[in-house]
Amino acid sequence: MIDENKLLELMADLESAGVERTISVNDTAKFSEAICAFANDLSGSRQPGFLLIGVDDRTGLATGLQVTDQLLQNLAGLGADGNILPAPALLAYKITLSSGKGDVAIVEVQPSDIPPVRYKGLVRIRRGPRKGIANESEERILAERRVAGMLTFDAQPCQGSALSNLALDLFTTGYRSLAVDAEVLAENSRPIEVQLATLRFFDLARNCPTHAGVLLFGKNPLYHEPHAFVLYVRYDGSDQGADVLAERQFSGDLLTLLRELDGFVKNLPTARPIEESALREKLIYDYHPTALRELLMNAVMHRAYDQPSFIRILHFSDRIEISSPGPLYGLANASNFPRQTSYRNPVIAEVMKVLGFVNRFGRGVERAQRALAENGSPPARFEFGDTFFGVTIEARL
């Protein structure tokens, strides 16, 4: 966070590539474009960019804006609404000017470690003090730059894999048109490797797919990612010593796995009506499907794919337990969960948002708990292990 002196410098420097000023308080498209451009950091400065709201772009003077808590919440939410992918790291705060000329709302945006970043399918950049849409050469620069700074397993090259290991039709027909703006696709003349690389599915420097590329579009993902599957087991009792009633493994490319899981979870719970009044009945579930779906999608998104383990769904007579490899990641811990979200797999998280398996980042647990409460079920219980993350959903009896 900057102080007032630094703010005044930024307001006065009308030619800075790291600052955008606006008098608007509700132009979310403009705000999002600016955030996207700062996150891409085409100049390679590795310095944060600043969106200043309540400052005239022509003069650099404050407009007398009174910044409300709601405005700050709206600005902070731009990083989690799923329109800017991968989700940028940003802070939204205000500074009240000592001159008495009102407030300035500040969105401070950190450069992305895994560019290019897109807003609604378009890569926005800054060329000096102006925004623009990246051309093919600029997108390639961004894609190549992340090799030195990438931190997450899903964006790293999958050594030993090759382009021939990917089912490219899954990318070209099943994903690309959803992730990239139609006008960009219409003008696209780039090799398939570059197209994959700009979405973080291919490593140009090492000439091989990334782990995300193999997981999402691999002809046989388990060959390179042997634990990337989900196991469901149903027991005829309350512990694993009981007889097994059913068992199923979900595997294959992640696009197929997600669709199969989605359908399976919708059909897994049983429902029954209960009387709310003399004239009304309410449908309740032993396990609310919305809660099951949200918590399972959360497990797929956040699991540690580099660990030698897999996601387990254990269905007992009185509860369902979901366990995924890897503890809470980054800034998230038991004391701030689920308010704080850190993404172990930002590329996979982006894919799940694009495909509609996630509606909004950071809301899955909240949606699950709300669904359970509306169903009259106990809240989900979470277990924060050293090597795993677990959640238990009790049956609605």
Per-residue pLDDT band at 168 (split at 50, 70, 90): very high
Report all structural domains of the chain as residue ranges with CATH numbers, in order of start: 4-132 (3.30.950.30), 150-224 (no CATH), 230-394 (3.30.565.60)
Q: Taking each helix axis as running N to C, give the angle between helix 346-354 and helix 289-302, from 0 to 180 degrees, rounded to the nearest 10.
A: 140
Nearest to 44 by CA among 146, 133, 136, 135: 146
Is residue 145 over pLDDT 80? no
pLDDT digits (tens, 9 = 90+) for 25-38: 999 999 999 999 99
**322 within 8 A of 368, measured Cβ to Cβ:** no
Average pLDDT of the chain to the nearest whole number? 91
- What is the percent of the chain where pLDDT is above 70? 98
Nearest to 271 by CA among 171, 396, 96, 142: 396
Is residue 217 over pLDDT 70? yes
Q: Report which of residues 274 and 365 the model is more confident about.
A: 365
Per-residue pLDDT band at 278 (split at 50, 70, 90): low
Cα angle, residue 130 at apex, residues 126 and 134 outer, rounded to 5°:
40
Per-residue pLDDT band at 46 (split at 50, 70, 90): confident
What pLDDT is recorded for position 281? 80
pLDDT digits (tens, 9 = 90+) for 173-210: 889 988 888 888 777 778 999 999 989 999 988 899 99
- The SS3 call for residue 232 is strand
Is residue 47 over pLDDT 80? yes
pLDDT digits (tens, 9 = 90+) for 223-264: 999 999 999 999 999 999 999 999 999 999 998 999 999 999
What pLDDT is recorded for position 151? 67
Of 255-259, 267-271, 369-373, 379-383, the least confident: 267-271
Q: Report which of residues 349 and 360 the model is more confident about.
A: 349
Query: The tokens 């030993």 sit on which residue?
Result: 160
Is residue 274 over pLDDT 70? yes
What pLDDT is recorded for position 110? 92
Is residue 150 over pLDDT 60? no
Give one word for 334, left, alpha or beta, with left for phi > 0 and alpha for psi -120 to 50. Answer: alpha
Token code pair at residue 136: 């093919």
What pLDDT is recorded for position 330? 81
Per-residue pLDDT band at 148 (split at 50, 70, 90): very low
The average pLDDT across 123-151 equals: 81
**CA dihedral of 135, 137, 143, 147, whole degrees rounded to 10:** -150
- Beta bridge partners, 234, equal 246, 315
